[in-house]
Chains A and B, each alone.
Chain A
Amino acid sequence: MSVYDYLYYIILPILAVSILIIFIRFLIGPKLSDRVVALDLLLTTGIGIIAVYSIITNQPAFLDIAMILALIAFLGTVAFAYYLEKREKND
Chain B
Amino acid sequence: MTEIIVIILSSLGALFILLAAVGIVKMPDLYLRISVTTKAATLGIGLILLGAGIYFSDTAILARVIAIIVFMLLTAPVGAHMIGRASYFTGVKMWKNSKIDELEGKYDTKSHKLKSED
Contact = CB atoms under 8 A, between A and B. Distances in A.
B24 A37 contact: yes
Contact of A77 (B52, B55, B79): B79
A22 B42 CA distance: 15
B87 A33 contact: yes
A31 B93 CA distance: 10
Interface residues of B, number: 50
A36 B56 CA distance: 34
Contacts of A70: 68, 71-72, 75
Interface in A30-74: 31, 33-34, 36-38, 40-41, 44-45, 47-48, 51-52, 54-55, 60, 63-64, 66-67, 70-71, 73-74
Contacts of B114: none
A37 B30 contact: yes
Contact of B68 (A24, A25, A63, A77): A63
Interface band, chain A: 35 or more
B72 A48 contact: no
B14 A11 contact: yes
A63 B44 contact: no
A66 B68 CA distance: 8
Given A44-B45, A74-B79, A81 B30 contact: no
Interface string B45-68: 100110110011010010011011
28 contacts: A3-B7, A14-B15, A14-B18, A18-B17, A21-B25, A22-B21, A31-B30, A31-B87, A33-B92, A37-B37, A45-B17, A45-B41, A48-B49, A52-B10, A52-B52, A55-B6, A55-B52, A55-B55, A66-B49, A66-B68, A67-B68, A67-B71, A71-B71, A74-B78, A80-B86, A82-B82, A84-B90, A88-B90
